[in-house]
Structure 1
Amino acid sequence: MSLTSGNRFGGRRSGRTAATVVAAAAACSGLTWTAVALTSSSTVAKPPVTCAYTPTKGGSRTVGVPSFEAAAAGRPLTFRLATGEGTVTVKALTEEAPCTTNSFSYLAGKKYFDGSKCHRLTTTGIFVLECGDPAGVGNSDPGYSYPDENLAGAVYPAGTVAVSKAQPGRNGGQFFISYGDPAFPLKPDWTPFGKVVEGLDVVKRIAAKGTANGAPDGAPKEPVVLTSVRVQSQ
């Protein structure tokens, strides 16, 4: 299962002080410095984004391995998830999670999600609907995996869309949508890659029907099918 039973999902110095230290060191060494502003406005070039997608032997539906163009990283994207209850619109966090959003876009373009069932609903402690496994059981991947990203300070309030794992450390196509704030803090273990901007009420309606066996965690009572998942560039 991708959500584990334990947590339910699988001294700073001022800029002025730093400047003083640097200046003192320069004076002691006999070097002459040109004035440099050590402020937050200084820009530091970010390293180019690289994404590692590793082929796996698992997967009920494999679609190859995505490529990644660094020049396209950060471009605004919207994901539209159509279900029988309505459409959920997600703003992709392309800058914060470029490798994940690239993977999701690739899978959507391959129609990997189309016709798949959301396999898990949790209604106590955490409030999530989990989807993304064409087999509908929550233990397969699309034939590749990739590392976590965007975990620093990650939280999972209502509207968060994040990667869930078929196995620890193995991100693939599965994901969850938080339809309510968790009742307790969660470890930052799952890559957030989107925010619901429209249609959270759709997920709440699904959740209100409960699970198939009446337990707080299980398959949705009524089948939830992703009829289509599409990507829109802005």
Structure 2
Amino acid sequence: MPTNEQRRAAAKRKLERQMVYRQERAKKRRILAVVSTVVVVALVGAGVWFLATHDFADGDASASETPKSEPPKVDIPTEIKPLAKRPTPLAEKVACEYRKDDSTPPAKQVNAPNGADIPATGTVNVTLKTNQGDVPITLDRALAPCAANSFASLVEQGYFNGSPCHRLSTKGLQMLQCGDPSGTGSGSPGYKFDNEVWPELTYGRGYLAMANAGPDKTDPKKGTNGSQFFIVYGSAELSPDYTVFGSIGEAGLKIIDDIARAGDDGSMDPSPGGGKPNNEVKIESATIVK
């Protein structure tokens, strides 16, 4: 039979076992609580992410992406303006002065055309083969014999082949500008010549005109036409400072209209206006149609 001392020792051991058991249970409860909290936080976070990224409207996650902005609508007139006529016809042949342009190196090496006895009657048909389609144009010698003669010479020398149309304007002045192989807007063929304009000259849809840099700095009475030209497909409230030397018919304008509707990148706003066409335009080749 156990003594009192033995009974007390046994009771003490039992109490110690109970305390250890209780401590282990408490530790397990704490671990379980921490794990449960982590799981709950993770589930809540996953739920927030799901709600934030999922589009419940149609069940398509891609629908929650920001839609791409559409280019602004371009209002293009459909009526082609009758080609301008000189108030006083020129002589059958004229002299043209093609002066060396030292302002910048030539965008592509070519020879200046002959300026003696240039015809001031008749037309020249040219096809601009672009990556967007063929654009037939007609050069009118009676309007601007020097510009028409220069353009035809550049075509024959392959100057425009592989060159971009670097500027599109859709607001106010509606035109596509081409003729600079460098694509910078400052390229020239290495020569320049004077304007062929008159005070009553106005512009409109279907006109082919020369771009210029204003009066010649060396002589304000002289012009700065080179190789750059623009095709007017819509409105063009311009002062009579730009030589009109030909026209574009319905087939070519349809292609230009599609280019215009795609808009521009706005890289040239506010001055001179517009920017590079969103649909890249490149003149792959230019040829005279015999």
For this structure pair, what is the TM-score category when the shorter chain's length is used for normalisation? 0.7 to 0.9
* Aligned AA (1:192): V
Aligned match of 1:175: 229
User: Tell me, what secondary structure is at the counterpart of 1:180?
Assistant: coil
Measure, in 2, the Cα distance between the counterparts of 1:149 and 1:229: 23
Counterpart secondary structure, 1:104: helix
Q: Which has the higher helix share?
A: 2
Pick from 69, 80, 88: which aligns with 2:127? Answer: 80
Bigger relative contact order, structure 1 or 2 (CA pairs below 8 A, ≥6 apart): 1
Shift of 1:72: 3.8
Structure 1 Cα separation of the partners of residues 147 and 196 of structure 2: 8
Q: Cα–Cα, structure 1 residues 81 and 218, in superposed 2: closer, same or farther, change >3 Å?
A: same
Distance in 2 of aligned mates of 1:154 and 1:174: 20
Structure 1 Cα separation of the partners of residues 195 and 141 of structure 2: 14
Alignment of structure 1 residues 31-180 onto 2, 5 Å: 46=91, 48-57=93-102, 58=104, 59-70=106-117, 72-166=119-213, 168=215, 169-180=223-234
Is the partner of 2:230 in helix, strand or coil? strand
Pick from 175, 191, 204: which aligns with 2:257? 204
- SS where residue 150 of structure 2 aligns? helix
C-alpha distance in 2, partners of 1:47/1:195? Answer: 21
- Which whole-Å CA distance do the structure 1 matches of 2:233 and 2:285 have between them? 20
Q: 1:167 and 1:150 mapped to 2: Cα distance?
A: 13
Equivalent-residue separation in structure 2 for 1:227 and 1:90 (angstroms): 15
Q: What is the CA distance between 1:199 and its match in structure 2?
A: 1.2
Structure with the largest fraction of strand? 1
Residues 1:136 and 1:166: Cα distance change in structure 2 (over 3 Å): farther
Mapped partners of 2:110, 2:198: distance in 1: 27
Change (3 A) 1:71 1:100: closer
For residues 90 and 174 of structure 2, the distance between their equivalents in structure 1, rounded to whole angstroms, comes to: 39
Structure 1: distance between partners of 2:137 and 2:162: 19
Contact conserved, 1:141 with 1:166, CA < 8 A, in 2?
A: no
CA distance in 2, matches of 1:164, 1:152: 17
**Identity percentage of aligned residues:** 36
Secondary structure of the equivalent of 1:147? coil
Contact kept? 1:209, 1:221, Cα under 8 Å: yes
Q: TM-score, normalised by structure 2?
A: 0.60
C-alpha change, 1:209 and 1:76, in structure 2 (3 Å) is: same
Quote the Cα distance in structure 2 between the aligned partners of 1:85 and 1:45: 37
| 1:221 has 2:278 as partner | yes
Contact 2:122 2:140 in 1 (8 A): no
How far is 1:222 from its partner? 2.3
Deviation at 1:69, TM superposition (A): 4.9
Alignment CA distance shift 1:222-1:164 (3 Å): same
Match of 1:192 in 2: 244
What's the offset of the Cα at 1:47? Answer: 7.5
CA distance in 2, matches of 1:75, 1:167: 28
* Residues matched between the structures, number: 188
C-alpha separation in 2, matches of 1:64 and 1:71: 16
TM-score by length of 1: 0.74
Deviates more, 1:106-115 or 1:70-79: 70-79
Give the superposed CA RMSD: 2.1
Following TM superposition, by how much is the alpha carbon of 1:153 offset from its aligned partner in structure 2, in angstroms?
2.0
Q: Conserved in 2, the CA contact under 8 Å of 1:212 and 1:221?
A: yes
CA distance in 2, matches of 1:101, 1:117: 20
Q: Report how far residue 88 of structure 1 moved.
A: 1.2
Q: 2:120·2:144 contact (CA, 8 Å) conserved in 1? A: no
Note the alpha carbon deviations across 1:190-223, whole angstroms, 9 max, x for none: 0000111231010010111111248661111121
Structure 2, unpaired ranges of 5+: 1-88, 216-222
1:10-21 → structure 2 map (5 Å cutoff):
none
Distance 1:152 1:78, change over 3 A: farther
Q: Which has the larger radius of gyration?
A: 2
How much has 1:127 moved relative to structure 2?
0.3
